[in-house]
A and B are shown apart, each in its own frame.
Chain A
Amino acid sequence: MPKVLIIDDSAVMRKIIQRNILQSGLLVDEFVEAGDGREGLEKAISNNVDLILCDWNMPNMTGIEFVKALRGSGQKSNIPIVMVTTEGGETKIEEAKSSGANGYLTKPFTPEQLKSKLGNFLLVK
């Protein structure tokens, strides 16, 4: 079963996302956590993760900087990335997609919305 990397500077939000994924019936074997884009980049490259969920506003390296860095790294650069963020404007969504994000989910979200966005990348029970 897949391994999912969650990058968010809030430990609480990482926990909320995990619980919502499990509650929505999406099949995940293991969660890997990172507190900012820089740590996320290290963990994305050093772990065999199948999907990355990434916040936008974080210290050290923002989510959009992370997306650009991973896509330009030449290492594990094809891992699907879904932005999970409070940034909900059309221009932000376009910026994320043009930078290489594969999906976009605005906080707050329901388990059903999460399932709908991640269902393209994860199997459902």
Chain B
Amino acid sequence: MTLESRIETVTVDIAESTRTLFETMIMMDLKYDAASLVDDTQIKTDVIGIVSFTGKCCGVIALFCSKKFALKVASAILMTELNEFTGEVKDAIGEIANMIAGNVKTKLTAQYGDMQLSIPIVIAGEGLSITAGTNHPIGAESTLSWFSRDTWLMTPFISNNEKFNIGLLMRESNK
């Protein structure tokens, strides 16, 4: 199984899961565009919310956004105006990534069997890229280094005039 062969169905899963979240708990407008495969050199972002999954398929689902958008979406989900990029904003981004990943995982489980989700990790800075130094299959299959040279399936969204992306790395497990 390659990510390329799954683009259409997985893109729909990601778009539907994100739309459901925005309609239920965030209440912000949402538009999305066609997904594309991008390599890690094209990724530059301020905030990354990552959830990995293991099972017959393993991979990573990540939310990439600006700090400005992180503040907007955290304010919306917490129903309060947030103006500073605090730990609470990072926690909110982690939960948003977690809910999107959880819903995508549920949809993928129907096809590929049960999977386990990790606890979300959020990284924040300026102009972040997501690349590891090696591409060797090591220890845990869900580590980012294992996927570091794979292409991301990136689905671009626009909400409240801000762009953000949901990226997916996915492989069939060797186990």
Contact = CB atoms under 8 A, between A and B. Distances in A.
Q: Answer yes or no: do A and B interact.
A: yes
Interface of A: 9-13, 15-16, 19, 23, 57-59, 85-89, 91, 106-110, 113
Given A9-B119, A12-B92, A16-B77, A86 B24 contact: no
A86 B77 contact: no
Contacts of A10: 91, 94-95, 98
Interface in B62-108: 74, 77-79, 88, 91-92, 94-95, 98-99, 101-103, 105-106
Contacts of A11: 88, 91
Interface string B136-163: 0000000000000000000000000000
B45 to A, nearest CB: 21
Interface residues of B, number: 26
19 contacts: A10-B94, A12-B74, A12-B91, A13-B95, A15-B78, A16-B25, A19-B79, A57-B118, A58-B119, A85-B102, A86-B117, A87-B117, A88-B102, A88-B106, A89-B114, A108-B20, A108-B24, A109-B24, A110-B25
Interface of B: 20-21, 24-25, 74, 77-79, 88, 91-92, 94-95, 98-99, 101-103, 105-106, 109-110, 114, 117-119
A58 B25 CA distance: 21
Contacts of A110: 24-25
Contacts of B94: 10, 12
Nearest to A86: B102
Mostly, the A contact residues are loop
